[in-house]
Structure 1
């Protein structure tokens, strides 16, 4: 019993010391001002891997956490995150404040009534957003473009357009990527002289390419392997990917097509039942800061979506587009592609690939 009393005495003394230490720390925190102020929690739905790591490195740690925000990432593939958003739609409070999606999925989620319209008056960086990256229900974070690419080991006269690239004359020296069927169909529509919804012209041209012997690679990675092995000469691909391949020693070059480059945009939306909408807008503004945009250009090879980011000329030459090419960036018709996606995929699988 005496040992127990002694033990309790020691515990009480330690407890008193600990309480004093906590009080001292709190006093220091009050003296430190902003360091002790917490603005709240922001939950970010995002892909994992390098993208999530770079969000932390370039946006969350240096800008948001430094300003007093707590940021928590909810990492998953976009199909899983979109399903979760839909499942939570009727709840008064969802579980995320912002979600990372492609431009097409930004459109689709808003059409389903899952996301808010963006109030651009709440973003101090709104005036710097490129017009093509300013969506009704989302804000573009980074972008690249679907460009003509060619194997510099084999091609002496580079293509200048989608029409030059998606041309039956190339035969088996032209490569197409299966998983990119949506953007390939739209590029083929432009190559055939139509608009972004001219699927009749696109299908006719693609069947001609197939008859001429064009190669079909299942994935972006398989396309890169074929390129490195000199299996083909030309194709279409994201410019950012070609930069990554160049960094790995593949002798590939790219050209912005004269028809206007199809843009691929990764951006963020605000769920309609986001629990912290002030935090959501803080996140959007932080991702648009020049420092964050410049860092993503260096780290990932994608272009800034604002006009006040300073990208070094040598890097911009590799990843970027001229002012005229930026003006000519084209988006697919997201509504059309959403409405016709099932039938287009069925045609691709059963007629084009057959």
Structure 2
């Protein structure tokens, strides 16, 4: 059950009493509205299935999703920062983009007393300006029928010998450039953009393909148009569940961590409900459901995940030591230049 601020409960009780006296349903007055900025596709659907429908809507909260890629949503956050009231309350972003938006001064420093379930958060998932919702790691994905021998890491993925069997996902340009840097430096450097660009241009010349979305890439893997790439391990699990022939390999160069989380806009019009949404996503049931439905690791303690599933979505103790947090400051500073090169040079 979601925990609300005591004042919200008192206001809700007062509204309920008034509504009952007027002969109208109390539920209509209960919790108000929250606007959630999120990616579309599976993630948006699972937010509705695991958080909004079972926890928030029964309390009378109207949840509206503002679905778009993170780049246009971040641009809108910055564009709206001078407004007294923005158009979105809570935004789903990667850890790198949470950092960037905090540096831009558009998100709230969290009051953790308003998120009771945060007491269960893993320490690494608790940021001053946001919370981690789910996490995974970037691994090599390949089809054993097409790629042999099995790859061992990012360098094997970015080998021009694979030609047009190499695939990229357009929206993953940051993680692709990080992986290319690690491939070029044997895992010593995640931020060597010059070496990353050299490797990527070589595979582009060899015929590597770029797909606009995760879903388009999955279709290409399924019909064996491509056979090797890199993606979050959680995605590999999802696609295996969907019957797509693919395996995951933890790269020898190191495993870049991916954290998907949420922040509250400074000018959120429904800030209390944004906190309620954050609290709901940290409940045990939706955290466990995301592990089953999406293949991501939960960010709170005390979860019950089937051992066979945990083996597929998690990492061995040795691999855990290989998980590498990203350099969020570097990415915030260089993201625009990385995106410009990706769009105007690599994809040209």
Asked if Structure 1 and Structure 2 have the same fold, meaning a TM-score greater than 0.5 normalized by the shorter chain, the answer is yes
Tell me the equivalent position of 1:73: 64
1:175–1:214 CA contact under 8 A, matched in 2: no
User: Does the C-alpha gap of structure 1 residues 226 and 71 become closer, same or farther in structure 2, counting only changes over 3 Å?
Assistant: closer
Query: Secondary structure at the residue paired with 1:272?
Result: coil
Structure 1 residues 222-241: aligned runs within 5 Å: 222-241=216-235
1:150–1:234 CA contact under 8 A, matched in 2: yes
- C-alpha deviation, 1:281, in angstroms: 2.4
Tell me the equivalent position of 1:292: 286
Give the whole-Å Cα distance in 2 for the aligned partners of 1:316 and 1:188.
28
In structure 1, stretches of 5+ residues that fail to align are 1-20, 30-34
Q: Please tell me whether residue 63 in structure 1 is matched to residue 59 in structure 2.
A: no
- C-alpha deviation, 1:149, in angstroms: 0.9
2:57–2:63 CA contact under 8 A, matched in 1: no
What is the TM-score with the length of structure 2 in the denominator? Answer: 0.79
2:130–2:264 CA contact under 8 A, matched in 1: yes
Query: Secondary structure at the residue paired with 2:231?
Result: strand
Encode CA deviations 1:193-231: one digit per residue, 9 max, x unaligned. Answer: 2322111221233334345x2522333444334433434
- C-alpha deviation, 1:192, in angstroms: 1.6
User: Does the C-alpha gap of structure 1 residues 349 and 310 become closer, same or farther in structure 2, counting only changes over 3 Å?
Assistant: same
- C-alpha deviation, 1:253, in angstroms: 0.6
User: Does the C-alpha gap of structure 1 residues 215 and 222 become closer, same or farther in structure 2, counting only changes over 3 Å?
Assistant: farther
Mark the structure with the bigger radius of gyration: 1
In structure 2, stretches of 5+ residues that fail to align are 1-18
1:46–1:73 CA contact under 8 A, matched in 2: no
What is the TM-score with the length of structure 1 in the denominator? Answer: 0.78
Give the whole-Å Cα distance in 2 for the aligned partners of 1:39 and 1:231.
49
Query: Secondary structure at the residue paired with 1:192?
Result: helix
Tell me the equivalent position of 2:210: 217
Give the whole-Å Cα distance in 1 for the aligned partners of 2:141 and 2:312.
13
Tell me the equivalent position of 2:152: 160
1:44–1:74 CA contact under 8 A, matched in 2: yes
Query: Secondary structure at the residue paired with 1:269?
Result: strand
Give the whole-Å Cα distance in 2 for the aligned partners of 1:203 and 1:79.
22
- C-alpha deviation, 1:172, in angstroms: 4.7
Tell me the equivalent position of 2:308: 314
Q: Please tell me whether residue 143 in structure 1 is matched to residue 135 in structure 2.
A: yes
**Given the alignment, which residue of 323, 327, 330 partners 1:333?**
327
User: Does the C-alpha gap of structure 1 residues 129 and 350 become closer, same or farther in structure 2, counting only changes over 3 Å?
Assistant: same
Matched residue count:
326
Tell me the equivalent position of 1:86: 78
1:178–1:216 CA contact under 8 A, matched in 2: no
Tell me the equivalent position of 1:206: 200
Tell me the equivalent position of 2:16: none
Structure 1 residues 152-191: aligned runs within 5 Å: 152-191=144-183
